[in-house]
Amino acid sequence: MAALRSGPGATGPRRRGLPAAATLLTVLLTCCVRCSAQIDKPSNIILILADDQDVHIGGMTPMKKTKALIGEAGATFVNAFTVTPLCCPSRSSILTGQYPHNHEVRNNSLSGNCSSIQWQKGPESTAFPVYLNKQKYQTFFAGKYLNQYGKKDEGEVGHVPLGWDQWHALVGNSQYYNYTLSVNGKEEKHADSYEKDYFTDLITNRSLHFLDDRSPQHPFFMMLSPPAPHSPWTAAPQYQKEFSDVKAPRGGSFDKPGKDKHWLLRQPVSPMPKTSLTFLDNAYRKRWQTLLSVDDMVELLVKKLESIKELDNTYIIYTSDNGYHTGQFSLPIDKRQLYEFDIRVPLMVRGPGIKPNQTLQAPVLNIDLAPTILDISGVNLTTLNVDGQSFLSQMAPTLRNGTARPFFLVEYTGEGHEKTDPDCPKLGPGLSQCFPDCVCEDAYNNTYACVRTLNKEHDLQYCEFADSESFVEVYNLTSDPHQLENILKSVDPAVLQAMNQRLIKLQSCQGNSCRDVK
C-alpha cells in the first residue's frame, strides 16, 4: 500500500459521500473549537531563581540579555525583597508563600529544619507546585532545591516532593561540577566535563528537552534554579576571562566601619587588609562570570518559546533567593545581614497582560511569588494558607485589582558553632562563616527581626536583635540610603513605639494578618 503524501502539492483520497461545502464547514468548526481552546488555555509559567544574586551592588550588570528579554519586555520591580537573607529559609518561603516563623525553616542546617523530615511532611506537602499539579499543569524542576536536600536519613535522592512531574534536583548546595542529582528519584552522578556536566548548561538543556516533549494540550510550569552566582564561582570556560578589570564597587557603605550597629558589624577591621580586598574583588568578578551562562539560559528559553509558539502565553519570572555583599561595612563576602545589599533582590516579569518597559515601585516580597503564580494559574487564593499576596495586579492592572502592602517583615535566625573557630580564637564560640583575617559573618545572636515601610512619605527600617544587648537599629533610607547612621537615639519615641508594635504583630502573623498590619 502506498504511503499517503502530505505537505505542499500533496494529494490524497477525499472522503466518500462528503460534499466539498460540508468539508469546508467541518474544517471551519474544527478551527473555531481549537482556537477557543487555545484562548481558554491557562498561561504557562517559568520561574528562574538565581542563587545569591544581589541587585544593590551591580549584580544585574552582566545580565544584558535577561534585562532586554524579560525586563524591557515586561515589568521590573525596583523594590523587591527577600523576607530572610539566606538560601534555605528563603527558598522555603518562595515555595510556601510563608514567612519563616510559619514554615519554621530557620537556616541552612538540618537542625534548622532545612529539607528535614518535619519540613517534608509539613510545609513542603502543601507548597505551590502541589496546587499547580491539581490544575493540570505539567511541572518541571531543575537545579538547586534546598541546601540539605538528598542527604542521608532525610529521604536521600529517592524523595521527590509532591507536585513535580519531572524532577532534576541537586543534592546539597550549589556546585558547577562533580555533583549528584536526583532525577525523578534516581541517583545520577556527574563529573567535570564541560560538555556533559556544567550545571547551568545542563539545567538549560533539560528544560529545552522538556519543552519539546511536553503535551501541548496542558499548560506547563518550570522552575529553573541555577547555581550562579553562588560560590565556588566556577565560570564556563568561554567566560573565564571576562570582566578582567572589574572590581567590587567602592561607594556607599563599602569598607565603612559598623558604627552604632550590632556587635557582629563592629568586629571587622576597617579599613580592610589588602588580602581581604583582593579576595572579595576576585569573588565579585567570578560571580559576574558565572552569570553569563544564566544570561544564555534566558536567551535560549525565549527562543525556544518563540519556536514552539508559546512565548505570548508564558509568564517568565526572574529573581534570586537573597542578595549579597562584598566589602560593605568591611564584611568581606556573604549575606545574612539586615541591610539593603542582602535583602534586596532582582525581580523582572514578562507575560500576558504585562505592558513592556514598566518600572514598578510597589514593595514585593519573595513570599508573594507563590500566590502570584497560583493566581496566574487560576487557583482561588482565598483557599490558601499564605502570608504573601499576588502582585499580578501591580504589573497587569487590567487583569486584577489590588493594593500595595504598607509594612512587611524581614527575619533571620543566626547560625553559630559551639566550638571556637580556629581562624578567630579571640572571638570565642558561637560564631560561623569566619575568614582568616578574623572576620566572622554570622553568629548565634545574629538573630533579628525588622519591620519595613516603603511609601511616598518615608522609607523606614526598624530592627530588634535577640541578644544580651537587646540591640536596636533604625534607619531612614530616604535620607540615608546606605544605612550609615543608626538614628535610634534621635528618632521620635512615638515612631519607635509604633514600629515596635507593628513588629510584634508581624512576628506572630499568619495569613491575612500578615497583609493587614496598619
Concatenated DSSP letters for 160-193? Answer: --TT-SEEEEESSS--SSS-EEEETTEEEE--S-
| C-alpha span between 199 and 197 (Å, rounded) | 6
Cα–Cα nearest to 322, from 144, 118, 135, 166: 144
The torsion region of residue 113 among left (phi > 0), alpha (psi -120 to 50) and beta comes to left
- Residue 249 included in any domain: yes
For residue 41, the model assigns a pLDDT of: 78
For residue 3, the model assigns a pLDDT of: 33
Q: What are the C-alpha distances in Å from 22 to residues 13, 14, 25, 27, 463? A: 16, 12, 5, 9, 74
Q: Which residue type is seen at 118?
A: Q
**Grid coordinates in use for 275?**
588580602
**Grid coordinates in use for 457?**
512619605
Q: Which of 31, 32, 87, 450 is catalytic?
A: 87
Q: 441 φ, ψ to 5°?
A: -95, -10
| C-alpha span between 47 and 389 (Å, rounded) | 17
Per-residue pLDDT of the chain (518 residues; tens, 9 = 90+): 333 223 333 323 333 333 444 444 343 343 333 333 344 679 999 999 999 999 999 999 999 999 999 999 999 999 999 999 999 999 999 999 999 999 999 999 999 999 999 999 999 999 999 999 999 999 999 999 999 999 987 889 999 999 999 999 999 999 999 999 999 999 999 999 999 999 999 999 999 999 999 999 999 999 999 999 999 999 999 999 999 999 999 999 999 999 999 999 999 999 999 999 999 999 999 999 999 999 999 999 999 999 999 999 999 999 999 999 999 999 999 999 999 999 999 999 999 999 999 999 999 999 999 999 999 999 999 999 999 999 999 999 988 877 788 899 999 999 999 999 888 888 889 999 998 888 999 999 999 999 999 887 789 999 999 988 999 999 999 999 999 999 999 999 999 999 999 999 999 999 999 998 77
Under DSSP, is residue 75 helix (H, G, I), strand (E, B) or coil? strand
CB 49 within 8 A of CB 224: yes
Q: What are the C-alpha distances in Å from 479 to residues 407, 452, 484? A: 19, 15, 10
| C-alpha span between 37 and 321 (Å, rounded) | 36
| C-alpha span between 252 and 258 (Å, rounded) | 13
**Grid coordinates in use for 514?**
500578615
DSSP bridge pairs for 364: 80
CB 91 within 8 A of CB 50: no
- Residue 378 included in any domain: yes
| C-alpha span between 332 and 268 (Å, rounded) | 9
Active site residue 87: yes
Other beta carbons within 10 angstroms of residue 434's beta carbon come to: 20
For residue 61, the model assigns a pLDDT of: 98
Q: How many distinct structural domains can be found in the chain?
A: 1
- Vertex 361: Cα angle to 499 and 462 (nearest 5): 15
The DSSP letter of residue 69 is I
- Residue 310 included in any domain: yes
* Size of the chain in residues: 518
- Residue 338 included in any domain: yes
| C-alpha span between 447 and 451 (Å, rounded) | 14
Strands 80-81 and 358-360: what pairing? Answer: unpaired
How buried is residue 93: exposed, middle or buried, by Cβ count under 10 Å (0-12/13-18/19+)?
buried
- Residue 441 included in any domain: no
- Residue 478 included in any domain: no
Q: Which residue type is seen at 72?
A: E
- Residue 421 included in any domain: no
Contacts of 356 (CB under 8 A, 6+ apart): 72, 73, 74, 350
- Residue 23 included in any domain: no
CB 499 within 8 A of CB 491: no
Cα–Cα nearest to 281, from 326, 314, 215, 243: 326
| C-alpha span between 450 and 186 (Å, rounded) | 42
For residue 15, the model assigns a pLDDT of: 32
For residue 40, the model assigns a pLDDT of: 63
Range of the domain at 343: 44-405
- Vertex 168: Cα angle to 164 and 172 (nearest 5): 110
Distance from the first to the final alpha carbon of the chain: 78
**Grid coordinates in use for 207?**
528544560
Q: Looking at residue 225, which CATH number applies to its domain?
A: 3.40.720.10
**Grid coordinates in use for 197?**
556536566
| C-alpha span between 366 and 86 (Å, rounded) | 12
Query: Cis ω on the peptide bond leading into residue 271 (within 30° of 0)?
Result: yes
Q: What are the C-alpha distances in Å from 457 to residues 6, 406, 453, 477? A: 67, 11, 10, 11
